[in-house]
Amino acid sequence: MLLINCSNREKNCFNILKNIMNDNDTLISLSNKDLKFCLGCECCQKDLERHCVLNDYITNNVYDEVLKADTIILASPMYMSNINGILKNLLDRFNTFYNHQLLKGKKIYLLMCGYATKEENSEEIQAIIDYFNSIKEYLYFEFEFLDYFVDSDSQEVKEENSKKIETIKQRFSN
Ligand SMILES: Cc1cc2nc3c(=O)[nH]c(=O)nc-3n(C[C@H](O)[C@H](O)[C@H](O)COP(=O)(O)O)c2cc1C
């Protein structure tokens, strides 16, 4: 299993992933990495050795790990009522897998963190689920929204988050 922290810091999303991963899983953190934006050149629609003409952390590290994994858990903070820019950029960079259907059959899960409660963010979460369900049609992956975590110092919220982590951990333990 591959777990990808899409936050630019190693805090809530990163710690949740660290807590749910198994010993033999791979955790990639995109925090403070050299990440370039898609150029829109469409060179990736041809057979390129490294999948993309850009030379950055995604080309050199992330693509190979994504191709190796059957199950991928993405974690993103809620930013401006949506996934954050790093995750959106990663999805744009998945364009290289489009023509060759290289994500076919992979299971992609998303978990998110935000300040607002799950209820307060319910419309935002539904819009994000709808978005993933639309791109999975042409990228051919399977998608499930795993859970939403509240970023709070309250003891009650922390306990609730720990329970959610335990449930996910049990589900993905091998
Ligand atoms: C630029 C920015 C925008 C944010 N927008 C939202 C938002 O729209 N809704 C929300 O619930 N939280 C929002 N937050 C709070 C973050 O989602 C929250 O702190 C999250 O836990 C950060 O994840 P991390 O600790 O893994 O970086 C925002 C934070 C930042 C810095």
113 C-alpha vs ligand 1 centroid, how far in Å?
7
118-141 pLDDT per residue, tens: 999 999 999 999 999 999 999 999
In this prediction the pTM is 0.98
What is the 3 state secondary structure string of the chain? CEEEECCCCCCHHHHHHHHHCCCCCEEEECCCCCCCCCCCCCHHHCCCCCCCCCCCHHHHHHHHHHHHCCEEEEEEECECCECCHHHHHHHHHHHHHCCCCCCCCCEEEEEEEECCCCCCCHHHHHHHHHHHHHHHHHHCCEEEEEEEEECCCCHHHHHHHHHHHHHHHHHHCC
11-38 pLDDT per residue, tens: 999 999 999 999 999 999 999 999 999 9
CATH topology of domain 2-172: Rossmann fold (3.40.50)
Would you kindly state where each structural domain of the chain is located, as residue ranges? 2-172
Specify the residue with its C-alpha closest to ligand 1, atom 18: 114
10 C-alpha vs ligand 1 centroid, how far in Å?
13
pLDDT at 119: 98
